[in-house]
A and B are shown apart, each in its own frame.
Chain A
Amino acid sequence: MVELVVTVPNKLGIHARPAAMIVRAAVEFDSEIWLESPADKVNAKSIMGVMTLAASGGTSVTVSAAGDDETTAVEAVADVIKSGFGEEMI
């Protein structure tokens, strides 16, 4: 199990389009991947799950993974979030 804490850097937070980008990165890996906010923990391969998190800009989320490729998986998903999804930053 690997964990990384990242801050959602874009203004609008993880809305539908960023959620789709996260899921697209996550499904590339065999590991189970989760996103966790103080309120909830969801499967990073589920677009509905990621959206339900409602992680607004500035929120800290924990990316975690368990499986053979857990290290690269966590880094890849965290990188997508840190990129700000090509949107306006806070």
Chain B
Amino acid sequence: MQDRYPDPETFSTGILFESLGRKLELEPVTDTGGYNRMVVSPDISRPGLCLSGYTYKFMHDRIQIFGETEITLLKQLSPAERTAAVANVYSFSVVCAIVTKGLTPPDELVAAALESGSALFSSPQDTTPLIHDLTHYLGEVFAPHVSLHGTLVDIYGEGVLVMGRSAIGKSEAVLGLVERGHRLVADDLVRVRRAGNRLIGTGDALIGFHMEIRGIGFVSIAELFGVGATKEMQSVDLVVRLLDADLTDETDRSGLEENLMAVLGVDIPLVEIPVLPGRNITLLLEVAAMMNIQAKDTGCTSAERLNRKLIARMGRKRLRD
């Protein structure tokens, strides 16, 4: 499935080539090997300074980009100087390197990459756009992430993460939402990663858009309801926790108190719904999502608006008395 990023723990040069090679139009310059070298940093490096001899703080654990500057610099040197310049870079363990703009890498560079067994790619793309795409991709791969037990569904564009103990009825409630035209993102296991101050949720590639419904078994939502009933990725905008009714503390019935749940350091509004026989959880999830949308649009909740009206009415009454 698209938009599922490789695990940073096992993110190697080979996986980078497989997943991004087509988009960046990468071609191996020659068979250097080094595909098992790990990409450990979301940043990239321009090795120009290192080539010219300033190796202090050279970021060898980043992907090296040889753009026009670097290649022109190398071409101006004599073969012996070129070998020395390239050696400045390849005396370190280089993750991999990309020569951009369709430039031909000098023989000394190819030889050094071969000798150190570090992958060397070329791309016809311009340097800045390539760096942009590469950094964006690496940023996504290395974003902080966590796997949560819950079900993520898109309700009117609002990403609602339904949580609660197993067998409390998360899947059934979300199945009801799908039947009403909302879209399933992930059932049972939601991978959440942080992008800036937003949380993005996806499912597991293997599980896909299957749901496990007790008594029926695995249900393929995409096959049963069509692709319109599924969504690859979705921001997480609201967490709804389903609670056993007897465990629910009846502290707040008015909805005036705003609860938050921190996920990867981002605070997400949290609504806790006691599950009681006869309650239509599907409907309540839909209402919770709509209220969250409204609260964001208007800057305050309906409870706050109602309360303001009430306080104003009491004020007028006191003036009359």
A contacts, CB < 8 Å to B: 12-13, 15-17, 19-20, 23-24, 27, 47, 51, 54-58
Contact = CB atoms under 8 A, between A and B. Distances in A.
B197 to A, nearest CB: 29
Given A12-B314, A56-B315, A57-B318, A47 B256 contact: no
Interface stretch (B96-104, B114-122, B171-179, B246-254): B246-254
B279 interface: no
A43 to B, nearest CB: 14
A24 B314 contact: no
Interface residues of B, number: 16
B311 A15 contact: yes
A55 B311 CA distance: 9
A15 B317 CA distance: 13
Nearest to B307: A16
Interface string B294-321: 0000000001001100110111011000
Given A20-B252, A57-B314, 7 more contacts: A16-B256, A16-B310, A17-B254, A20-B253, A54-B313, A55-B314, A58-B318
A55 B318 CA distance: 9
The 4 closest A-B pairs by CB, nearest first: A56-B314, A16-B307, A20-B254, A13-B314
Contacts of A23: 253
A29 to B, nearest CB: 14
A65 to B, nearest CB: 19
A48 to B, nearest CB: 10
A75 to B, nearest CB: 20
* Dominant secondary structure at the B interface: helix
Contacts of B311: 12-13, 15
A15 B253 contact: no
Contacts of B256: 16-17, 20
Interface of B: 250-254, 256, 303, 306-307, 310-311, 313-315, 317-318
Nearest to A16: B307
A44 B256 CA distance: 19
21 contacts: A12-B311, A13-B314, A15-B307, A15-B311, A16-B254, A16-B306, A16-B307, A17-B254, A17-B256, A19-B254, A20-B252, A20-B253, A20-B254, A24-B250, A27-B250, A47-B254, A51-B310, A54-B313, A55-B314, A57-B314, A57-B318
A24 B251 CA distance: 7
A55 B317 CA distance: 9
A54 B317 contact: yes
Contacts of A51: 306, 310
A19 B252 CA distance: 10
A90 B246 CA distance: 38
B276 to A, nearest CB: 14
Nearest to A23: B253
B318 A15 contact: no
A85 to B, nearest CB: 12
B113 to A, nearest CB: 68
A46 to B, nearest CB: 10
B287 to A, nearest CB: 17
Nearest to A24: B250
Contacts of A27: 250
Nearest to A51: B310
Nearest to A19: B254
Contacts of A16: 254, 256, 303, 306-307, 310
A51 to B, nearest CB: 6
A12 B253 CA distance: 19
Contacts of B306: 16, 51
Contacts of A17: 254, 256, 307
Contacts of B317: 54, 56
B149 to A, nearest CB: 31
